[in-house]
């Protein structure tokens, strides 16, 4: 029971190169962004999707439309659903400004955002955790609608989300169980990147692939998924290694301490 979530960030825009806070600003893709969407669409062309959920902003819709146009799923265009909850975070009064301009108007505020993004509520806007709460309502809807269904071969259904960097980063923080997006800056998400996540329930997520760039050479049909069992095995082995090293280090410290005591 569950779904396979294909989480895609929109392609490049002119504001990406200017480093402005985009948020709810409705910007079209740049020429590069359209090329990125096409490339990611070709990669996903053989993946059969049960449904597509997309942000209402133009840059996300352009990306989704291109992916759909290249996909093999019959009638996928009719399965596109626009969800305001998947829009980017509301930066409020920061929208359209550069970090330097934000720092000039609100001294210390951008520095706080850079160091502790989970503590910031954008003036006139919202926080990262507030945006994540909205995103998770769309996940809940997808799980309710498709979580107990299978394809003709008995596999979980594939769902596509096309959205924004803030959404993909905060969602991945949720998958990694980092509360309030505390690991926000530790997660890279380039424009038009792809993340693949298997989800059994809202809080049971396994990130299979992350930040696959639109021009990366990897093909989806050639990727190998990391199963939950293999992930548990990896964690178990890692834990045993850490325990062994910790014990060895403790014995070494005790030995050195006792040796020094005899000398001095």
Whether residue 234 sits in one domain with residue 117? no
Task: Check pLDDT > 70 for residue 249.
Answer: no
Whether residue 70 sits in one domain with residue 151? yes
Task: Check pLDDT > 50 for residue 244.
Answer: no
Check: CB of residue 184 under 8 Å from CB of residue 30.
Answer: no
What is the reported pTM?
Answer: 0.83
In the sheet that holds 80-82, the strands lie side by side as: 80-82, 49-54, 157-163, 3-9, 194-201, 204-212
Q: What would the pLDDT profile of 53-76 be if each residue is shown by its tens digit?
A: 999 999 999 999 999 999 999 999
Strand partners, 207: 197
Q: What would the pLDDT profile of 33-50 be if each residue is shown by its tens digit?
A: 999 999 999 999 999 999
- Work out how many domains the chain is built from and give that number: 2
Whether residue 237 sits in one domain with residue 213? no
Lowest mean pLDDT among 130-139, 198-207, 229-238: 229-238
Place of tokens 């396994």: 206
DSSP assignment of 46-82 equals TPPEEEEEE-SSHHHHHHHHHHHHT--STTGGGGEEE
Compute the chain's Rg from CA coordinates.
Answer: 22
Q: CATH code at 129?
A: 3.40.50.1240
Place of tokens 């910031």: 120
pLDDT band at 222 (very low <50, low <70, confident <90, very high): very low
Whether residue 19 sits in one domain with residue 54? yes
Whether residue 138 sits in one domain with residue 9? yes
Helices 31-43 and 58-69 meet at what angle, rounded to 10? 40
Whether residue 102 sits in one domain with residue 19? yes
DSSP assignment of 188-224 equals ---TT-EEEEEEEETTEEEEEEEEE-TT-S--GGG--
pLDDT at 221: 66
Helix spans in the chain (H): 14-18, 31-43, 58-69, 99-105, 109-115, 128-146, 165-175, 228-263
Whether residue 261 sits in one domain with residue 167? no
* Count of Cβ atoms closer than 10 Å to residue 98 Cβ: 14
Q: Which domain holds residue 246?
A: 227-264
Q: Which two tokens stand for residue 236?
A: 């178990």
Helix (H/G/I), strand (E/B), else coil: 28: coil
% of the chain beyond a pLDDT of 90: 79
Whether residue 257 sits in one domain with residue 185? no
Q: Which two tokens stand for residue 233?
A: 């095995």
Task: Check pLDDT > 60 for residue 246.
Answer: no
Whether residue 165 sits in one domain with residue 101? yes
Please give the average per-residue pLDDT across 177-190, as a whole number. Answer: 94
Whether residue 250 sits in one domain with residue 213? no
% of the chain beyond a pLDDT of 70: 83
Q: Which two tokens stand for residue 150?
A: 């299978």
Whether residue 249 sits in one domain with residue 154? no
């Amino acid at each position: 029971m569950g779904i396979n979530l294909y989480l895609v960030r929109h392609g490049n825009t002119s504001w990406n190169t200017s480093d402005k806070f985009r948020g709810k600003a409705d910007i079209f893709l740049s020429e590069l962004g359209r090329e990125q969407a096409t490339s990611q669409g070709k990669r996903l062309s053989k993946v059969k999707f049960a449904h597509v959920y997309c942000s209402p902003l133009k840059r996300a819709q352009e990306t989704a439309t291109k992916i759909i146009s290249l996909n093999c799923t019959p009638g996928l265009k009719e399965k596109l659903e626009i969800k305001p909850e998947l829009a980017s975070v509301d930066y409020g009064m920061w929208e359209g400004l550069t970090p330097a301009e934000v720092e000039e108007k609100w001294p210390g505020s951008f520095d706080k955002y850079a160091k502790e993004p989970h503590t910031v509520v954008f003036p006139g806007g919202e926080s990262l955790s507030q945006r994540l709460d909205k995103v998770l309502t769309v996940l809940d809807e997808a799980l309710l609608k498709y979580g107990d269904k299978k394809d003709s071969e008995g596999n979980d259904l594939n769902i596509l989300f096309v959205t924004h960097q803030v959404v993909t980063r905060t969602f991945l923080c949720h998958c990694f169980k980092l509360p309030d997006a505390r690991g926000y800056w530790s997660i890279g998400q380039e424009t038009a990147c792809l993340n693949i996540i298997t989800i059994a329930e809202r809080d049971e997520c396994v990130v299979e692939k992350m930040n696959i760039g639109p021009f990366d050479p990897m093909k989806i049909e050639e990727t190998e998924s990391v199963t939950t069992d293999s992930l548990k095995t990896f964690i178990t082995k890692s834990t045993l290694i850490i325990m062994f090293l910790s014990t060895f280090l403790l014995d070494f410290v005790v030995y050195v301490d006792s040796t020094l005591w005899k000398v001095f």
